[in-house]
């Protein structure tokens, strides 16, 4: 557990990861995720790394080269509008690259969010004024409705939108924008239910539009490079992944700090300091009475609307408008687990969740404030993971926990194999430790052991204890925050990269005539044009939604649910909510 790791043990684990990456790169085995060797437009990353790392040197490989979109030079930035200027919209604005995505307009029905997206906020939410400068930011258009924004699309030269609105509005906004001929990058979770996810996928195919979903770990160099080590087999047989994302939202809110001029008291004062149960800005309450919210609800207030401004502000706490801890947090980590295990679909899920901490008068909500779920995933020899697989007992157990009352462990993923353990911590660092080989007398292993990787030149790579330290050196792609740097590293987090690649794909499709094709190879079932379709396209993101939402259903029913293949087929109407419902039992 992370709880009992000493600083020295973490330092060893971090250096072990860099050592293993360097050893494998020098042997030419760090190329599983690159396009090198298959496309003449892209450099062969394997050969570059092998030559550059021969003497332990570090080769600077950017995320653009790593993910195959380095040929941006000569393209104009994609004119983009941000729809939804709250928490996640602020993160995306703060981390986007104006050379790829030029924000020409922002849209939000909440006046306070429009101000916030320009002025910025704490942490990564820098704001448009800081990203573009005050003079340029003033030229960015502001809209308080989607219809007004789309009416001006030609005047703005709009090509794409980034959607960062409450979950229950994702599908209708995405479809409306695709109707207007725009390409879409939509925040996760993809949609409130799987049927809506399938509708978004079909719409993108019919309209020939790019549809990308913001599970940013698909573009994190930290996760990509970690996966390369795992795919080289140095962890051995993986049987357990332990994911956790705990938060500290449990300290009493001081009511004396409540600003009655700024916030509307009639919607309640928080009992705890809680990032999901916030104060309701008075200017939002004045601008958005229930009648106005109903008017803006895309014709169906029961599906896409909010009963009042408090539900809009606190949408993550509502069953109709959000998907709870599994949708907001667990979806990321189960997405990472699926990637680590080879993009396989889970076999089953069961768990416990509930309101164990909050309640009447204490930041009450419909969504769970604590969850503990257990998934069974197929291992590489399982028939569900490989056509030739015959071992139905080859199962990987993946657990996810999230509680709002204690963040002592923070968040991350522990990947536990028969020969080693890897810990991906807070999307910023990765550590590696070797298991002791009990077949060898006196063999060392564990948290203090430094390692090198042998057998990389011929046989299967294995970790060995290092009597003398090896050549060192990572593969060149940034995998961690620089010493003394900020905890937020754009190259590692993946937000900037996902937006850059989205812009790159858009321009490439324009060169081919504009309409996006999601055609698949009939023999392999893989996308024919995967190199210019976002890594987390609709079908990938739908799988994440199925995992998260089905976990909610399993907790609500207190039953073990087995996943069905048809749920993951976008061309079939089958969906878990048809069988198990979407609300709590």
Question: Which tens digits make up the pLDDT trace of 426-462?
Answer: 999 999 999 998 888 877 888 999 999 987 556 788 9
Predicted confidence at residue 446, as pLDDT, reads: 87
Predicted confidence at residue 471, as pLDDT, reads: 56
**pLDDT for 483 beyond 50:** no
**pLDDT for 57 beyond 60:** no
The Cα angle at residue 322 between residues 272 and 297, in degrees rounded to 5? 115
Predicted confidence at residue 34, as pLDDT, reads: 42
Question: Which tens digits make up the pLDDT trace of 408-424?
Answer: 988 999 999 999 999 99
Taking the C-alpha atoms of residue 504 and residue 577, their distance in angstroms, rounded to an integer, is 35
**pLDDT for 162 beyond 80:** yes
**pLDDT for 50 beyond 50:** no
Predicted confidence at residue 474, as pLDDT, reads: 53
Cis peptide before 189 (omega within 30 of 0): yes
Least confident of 176-190, 239-253, 305-319, 481-495: 481-495
The one-character DSSP state at 436 is: P
Predicted confidence at residue 442, as pLDDT, reads: 76
Q: Mean pLDDT of all residues in the chain?
A: 89
Class of residue 251 by CB neighbours under 10 A (exposed 0-12, middle 13-18, buried 19+): exposed
Predicted confidence at residue 473, as pLDDT, reads: 59
Predicted confidence at residue 456, as pLDDT, reads: 58
Question: Which tens digits make up the pLDDT trace of 97-110?
Answer: 999 999 999 999 99
Q: For the chain, which domains are there?
A: 78-216+495-538 (3.40.50.720), 256-314 (no CATH), 323-408+542-580 (no CATH)
Predicted confidence at residue 22, as pLDDT, reads: 87
Question: Which tens digits make up the pLDDT trace of 209-252?
Answer: 999 999 999 999 899 989 999 999 999 999 999 999 999 999 99
**pLDDT for 10 beyond 90:** yes
Taking the C-alpha atoms of residue 226 and residue 250, their distance in angstroms, rounded to an integer, is 34
Which residues, other chains included, contact 136 with Cβ-Cβ below 8 Å and sequence gap of 6+? none
Contact predicate 548/330, CB 8 Å: yes
Taking the C-alpha atoms of residue 106 and residue 128, their distance in angstroms, rounded to an integer, is 10
Question: Which tens digits make up the pLDDT trace of 253-291?
Answer: 999 999 999 999 999 999 999 999 999 999 999 999 999
Contact predicate 568/543, CB 8 Å: yes
Nearest partner of 415 among 499, 503, 337, 320, judged by Cα: 337
Taking the C-alpha atoms of residue 13 and residue 62, their distance in angstroms, rounded to an integer, is 24
Predicted confidence at residue 458, as pLDDT, reads: 61
Count CB atoms within 10 A of the CB of residue 69. Answer: 24
Least confident of 43-52, 75-84, 270-279, 477-486: 43-52
Q: What one-character-per-residue DSSP string does 326-365 give?
A: IIIIIHHHHHHHHHHTTSPPPSEEEEEEE-SS-BTTBS--
Contact predicate 72/64, CB 8 Å: yes
């Amino acid at each position: 557990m992370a709880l009992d790791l000493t600083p020295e043990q973490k330092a060893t684990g971090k250096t072990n990861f860099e050592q293993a990456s360097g050893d494998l790169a020098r042997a030419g085995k760090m190329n599983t995720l690159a396009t090198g060797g298959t496309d003449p437009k892209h450099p062969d990353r394997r050969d570059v790394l092998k030559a550059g790392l021969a003497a332990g040197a570090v080769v600077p490989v950017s995320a653009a080269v790593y993910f195959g979109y380095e040929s941006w030079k000569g393209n104009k930035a994609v004119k983009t509008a941000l729809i939804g200027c709250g928490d996640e919209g602020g993160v995306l604005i703060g981390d986007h690259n104006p050379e790829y995505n030029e924000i020409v307009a922002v849209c939000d029905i909440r006046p306070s969010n429009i101000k916030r997206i320009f002025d910025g906020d704490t942490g990564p939410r820098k704001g448009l004024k800081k990203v573009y400068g005050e003079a340029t930011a003033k030229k960015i258009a502001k809209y308080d409705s989607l219809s007004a924004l789309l009416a001006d699309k030609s005047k703005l030269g709009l090509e794409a939108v980034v959607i960062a609105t409450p979950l229950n509005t994702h599908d209708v906004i995405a479809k409306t924008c695709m109707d207007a001929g725009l390409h879409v990058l939509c925040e996760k979770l993809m949609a409130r239910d799987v049927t809506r996810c399938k509708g978004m996928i079909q719409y993108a195919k019919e309209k020939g539009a790019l549809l990308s979903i913001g599970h940013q770990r698909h573009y994190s160099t930290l996760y990509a490079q970690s996966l390369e080590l795992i795919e080289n087999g140095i962890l051995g047989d993986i049987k357990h992944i332990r994911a956790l994302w705990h938060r500290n939202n449990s300290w009493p809110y001081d009511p004396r700090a409540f600003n009655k001029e700024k916030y509307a008291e009639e919607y309640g004062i928080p009992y705890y300091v809680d990032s999901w149960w916030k104060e309701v800005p008075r200017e939002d309450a004045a601008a958005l009475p229930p009648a106005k919210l109903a008017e803006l609800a895309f014709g169906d207030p029961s599906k896409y609307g909010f009963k009042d401004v408090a539900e809009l502000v606190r949408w993550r706490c509502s069953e109709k408008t959000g998907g709870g801890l599994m949708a907001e947090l667990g979806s990321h980590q189960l997405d990472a687990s699926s990637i680590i295990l080879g993009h396989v679909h889970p076999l089953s899920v069961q768990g416990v969740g509930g309101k164990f901490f909050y309640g009447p008068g204490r930041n009450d909500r419909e969504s769970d404030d604590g969850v503990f779920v257990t998934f069974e995933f197929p291992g590489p020899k399982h028939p569900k993971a490989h056509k030739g697989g015959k071992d139905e007992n080859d199962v990987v157990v993946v657990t996810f926990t999230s509680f709002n009352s204690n963040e002592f462990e923070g968040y991350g993923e522990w990947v536990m194999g028969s020969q080693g353990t890897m810990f991906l911590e807070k999307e910023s660092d990765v550590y590696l430790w070797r298991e002791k080989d009990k077949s060898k007398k006196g063999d060392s292993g564990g948290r203090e052991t430094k390692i090198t990787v042998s057998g990389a030149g011929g046989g299967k790579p294995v970790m060995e204890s290092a009597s003398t330290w090896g050549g060192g050196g990572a593969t060149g792609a940034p995998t961690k925050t620089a010493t003394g740097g900020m905890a937020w590293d754009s190259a590692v987090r993946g937000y900037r990269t996902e937006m850059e690649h989205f812009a790159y794909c858009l321009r490439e499709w324009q060169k081919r005539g504009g309409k996006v094709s999601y055609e698949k190879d009939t023999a392999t079932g893989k996308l024919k044009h995967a190199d210019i379709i976002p890594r987390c396209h609709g079908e990938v993101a739908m799988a994440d939604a199925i995992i998260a939402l089905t976990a909610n259903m399993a907790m609500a029913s207190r039953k073990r649910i087995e996943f069905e293949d048809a749920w993951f087929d976008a061309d079939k109407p089958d969906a878990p909510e048809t069988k198990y419902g979407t609300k709590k039992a």
